[in-house]
Structure 1
Amino acid sequence: MALPKAHRLKSRHDFQAVFREGIRRHSSHFTLRALKPAVATEPSLDTASPTANYASTKIGISISTKVSKRAVVRNLIKRRITAAFYQLLPKLAPGWRLVVIVKPTAAESKCGSQQFLQELEQLLAQAEVLNGHS
């Protein structure tokens, strides 16, 4: 299950913006960097983009070779995180830009997708990215 293209953070510029300005939340296996959507303080005269404030949340995953030298292991972890986010997409508030940084402990512990899901949900709630901040 891949994330829909509308929800993928792709460009280097976007990743750098999240790292530079985003808030940080930590757990045992991940660090979440989250950049809040820009809220227009005054009514904009630009009528071409009335849905600019309601853009879809974009998600990026950063996993270095420090986590594991083997690409197979890194890709497995990425797929598990992607599957967890796929389940969480309906709960996410619109407009956020998120980067999940995987810590080396994720490869060492043999935790499954369910634990990743719980941990990511907890991080997203701490960062107030989830609708209702459950």
Structure 2
Amino acid sequence: MALSKVNRLRSRQDFNAVYRRGIRRKSRHLTLLALQQLHSEKSLLGSISTRPTPETASATPTRVGISISLKVSKRAVVRNRLKRWLKVAARSLLWKFPVGWDIVVLVQPEATQCDYRQFLQELEQLLINAEVCDGD
């Protein structure tokens, strides 16, 4: 099953913010970029812009985005299968995530040879290395 809507990173601006300011951790098949959310009141209320507070940052759920390039595979079937596996892996690890993070997972071309268990294991290890979640 896929991620719920509140846990999906969807807008181009959000992806770009994570690409620019996020911390990077890389494994053999995946690259993880993580950025702690510090949304201003403008993004929450629409027009008022104030300094972000810990309350507003912790009120936003953790969002996950997945990016798979054509370099991984020219076949959409392969890219979609990898994306589905990563969504399920992220959903199964979602309970470990603290609130208030934007996470982007990039898939490397070597990922076409691995299976779901490897994705789950690598994603969990990358999250621990990035200090997004604990290793419990």
Normalising by structure 2, what TM-score? 0.85
| Counterpart position of 1:43 | none
- Alpha carbons of structure 1 residues 39 and 128: separation in structure 2 relative to 1, 3 Å: farther
Give 1 or 2: higher helix fraction. 2
Alpha-carbon distance in structure 1 between the residues aligned to 2:103 and 2:124 = 13
Matched-pair contact (CA < 8 Å) for 1:126–1:133? no
2:57 paired with 1:53: yes
2:89 paired with 1:77: no
**Which 4+ runs in 1 deviate beyond 4 A?**
none
Structure 2 gaps, min length 5:
41-49
Normalising by structure 1, what TM-score? 0.86
Q: How far does residue 38 in structure 1 lie from its aligned partner after superposition?
A: 2.7
- Name which of 95, 114, 119 aligns with 2:117: 114
- Percentage of matched positions with identical amino acids: 54
Task: Output the amino acid matched with 2:119.
Answer: F
What secondary structure sits across from 2:19 in the alignment? helix
Task: Output the amino acid matched with 2:73.
Answer: S
Task: Output the amino acid matched with 2:17.
Answer: A
Residue by residue, what CA displacement relative to the aligned partner does 1:62-107 show, whole Å, maximum 9, x if unpaired? 0010000000000000000011011100000110000000000001
Q: RMSD of the alignment, in Å?
A: 2.0
Task: Output the amino acid matched with 1:117.
Answer: L
Alpha-carbon distance in structure 2 between the residues aligned to 1:52 and 1:98 = 18
Alpha-carbon distance in structure 2 between the residues aligned to 1:36 and 1:60 = 14
| Counterpart position of 2:15 | 15
